[in-house]
Chain A
Amino acid sequence: MRNAFIRGLTALAERDRRVVLLTGDLGFKIFDDFAARFPRRFFNAGVAEANMMSVAGGLALGGLRPFAYSIVPFATLRCLEQIRNDICYQEAAATVVGVGGGYSYGPNGATHHALEDIAIMRCLPNMTVVCPGDPVEAELAALAAGTHAGPLYLRLGRAGDEVVHTSPPPFSIGRALVLSEGSDCALIATGGILPVAVAAAEQLAREGISCRLVSMHTVKPLDEVLLRRCAAEFGVLFTIEEHGLIGGFGSAVGEWLAASGVRCRLRSFGTRDGFAHLCGDQKYFRQLQGLTAEHIARQVLEALKDCA
């Protein structure tokens, strides 16, 4: 997703002279083309994320469109108060770009795992939270971020993320993408776990269950119109994210359900509370957390039986 993001950002910078890219000393080689084309609009801000986020705020107050890039925990947790005060509070049109959503950096250990960022970013006032589901969405999200009027958090996967969309979908921040209409239940995924949701829907199809498959790339604001439609049609929603179950996408949908008065069941798939203490890659951790097509499909089948 990071290559797709930088492709989108480069296209954006071509047509918008306000685009500025900051990196916290990460992204070896991937920014070379951008830096060569726009040398005055690319800055390695060094391993100093707190400063980088406030600088991004200042650039935005000065009329520019900064994108500040680092690995998720360093782009969000390390500099949380800077994002809160100097971007969100000032209503600065700056984009915080986190690479490595979920277990993308699995083997790097828990310091690099990104399982709290959606929860934390979405509770910041004025912040919009976008988690592209595949590289195609990531490229379109970078382009969309360029015309977004306020603070934005863009949560990317890493490299080699599976492509889901065979052609560019009509991407718009706040409008979820329906990949297949379906008639029995809704699987609603956010972020890089989308291909697993696709595979789960395929397994369920073999069991005779027709899923509405949704990429809800924008977690804040939620696409409430689509959620309401799914809730009304199916009476049960399944959310899928590679993120903690506390405060994440499933929680956001749950909050919306509680506040909306819509009567609907909710089953959320995400990660359990706790740090990883053993090593493993993304696939390993997804398996450990039940974030596999097989496990999700099985759980959905059981839940649908309970509903029946």
Chain B
Amino acid sequence: MAHAGRTPHVASALSCADVLAALYFGALRIDPSTPEDEERDRFILSKGHGCMALYATLAERGFFPEEVLEEYARDGGRLAEHPSPRCVPGLDAATGSLGHGLSLGAGLALAAKIQEQSFRVFVLLSDAECAEGSVWEAALFAGSRGLDNLVAIVDFNKWSAMGRTGSYLEPLADKWKAFGWSCTEIDGHDADALGATFARVPFEPSRPAVIIAHTIKGKGVSFMENNLEWHYRPPNDNDLKQALEEIEGRES
């Protein structure tokens, strides 16, 4: 998609692709044939720039035909470089400006509590996004109200758009715990660990859960891994060929 659309953020999408696979092919209580079901689990990609991974996951899961992916970043297409609301079945919330998704998710989780509904809300944030003050407003709000139907996942690839995030984010888990969340840290590319962790949310009653998923930006493509260039650069023909060879080679 990034190749055809000449778009950036391919490494951001690869960073969270395994988390999305674990959600959409495991954790989420969803049915692609009833995407508007009021009791469906909700997912919000707060790091909207990673949406290539989400679009591909939704297509793979059967929410819409794979051909729709060709509309990505095309004039008049439905799939923008940051998702617009309800642009395709299964995509609930528009994102793109960082620091919004967790509050939006907290509102949805609160709506479930008020209406005594059983759905849960999963929000995927980037680590760099945690510099937004509104993330911590949301963390305080959800933590203090015991929204145990809310699950945040931090795609902790240790990169921001300009460099490394570690120095200003750590200790990240302690911060979430101090805001009333129960927290666990896992390898965000370990499908078994992701599945097992999602299976036991909420980790504690009356507390929202946060999963700090340690990830690698650009995961799966050797020359993209931990190379900030791929936050910006669209892959050319050779890049695409090599990337696909690496990924498909591993799958077979």
Contact = CB atoms under 8 A, between A and B. Distances in A.
B238 to A, nearest CB: 37
B103 interface: yes
Interface residues of B, number: 31
A218 interface: no
Contacts of A54: 100, 103-104, 106-107, 134, 138
B111 interface: yes
B140 A48 contact: yes
Contact of A58 (B96, B110, B137, B140): B110
A81 interface: yes
B92 interface: yes
Contacts of B24: none
Contact of B141 (A48, A60, A85, A90): A48
Interface string A51-76: 10111111111111010000000000
Contacts, number: 98
Contact of B94 (A45, A60, A82, A89): A89
Given A46-B141, A51-B138, A82-B134, A58 B107 contact: yes
Interface residues of A, number: 29
Chain A interface helix/strand/loop/mixed: helix
Interface string B114-152: 110100000000000000011001101100010000000
A59 B114 CA distance: 9
Given A50-B103, A62-B107, A82-B103, A55 B141 contact: yes
Chain B interface helix/strand/loop/mixed: helix
B112 interface: yes
Interface string A105-119: 000000000000000
A61 B104 contact: yes
B134 A62 contact: no
B115 A51 contact: no
Contact of A57 (B99, B107, B133, B141): B107
Interface string B29-42: 00000000010000
B85 interface: yes
B110 A55 contact: yes
A185 B198 CA distance: 68
Contacts of A62: 107-108, 110-112, 115, 117
B184 interface: no
B103 A58 contact: yes
A86 interface: yes
A41 B108 CA distance: 14
A95 to B, nearest CB: 14
B134 A59 contact: no
Nearest to B145: A43
The interface centre, meaning the residue of B103, B106, B140, B145 with most chain A CB atoms within 10 A of its CB, is: B103
A20 interface: yes
Given A40-B114, A48-B140, A85 B107 contact: no
B103 A86 contact: yes
A223 interface: no
A64 B117 CA distance: 12
Interface in A224-248: none
Interface string A11-53: 0000000001000000000000000000011010110101101
A91 interface: yes
The interface centre, meaning the residue of A51, A59, A89 with most chain B CB atoms within 10 A of its CB, is: A51
A29 B114 CA distance: 23
Nearest to A51: B137
A81 B133 CA distance: 13
Given A48-B140, A54-B107, 17 more contacts: A43-B110, A50-B133, A50-B137, A51-B103, A56-B107, A57-B104, A58-B106, A58-B110, A59-B111, A59-B114, A60-B107, A61-B107, A63-B111, A81-B100, A82-B100, A85-B95, A90-B93
24 contacts: A40-B114, A43-B110, A46-B141, A50-B99, A50-B103, A51-B140, A51-B141, A53-B103, A54-B107, A55-B107, A55-B110, A57-B103, A58-B105, A58-B108, A58-B110, A61-B92, A61-B93, A62-B108, A62-B111, A62-B115, A81-B97, A82-B103, A82-B134, A91-B85
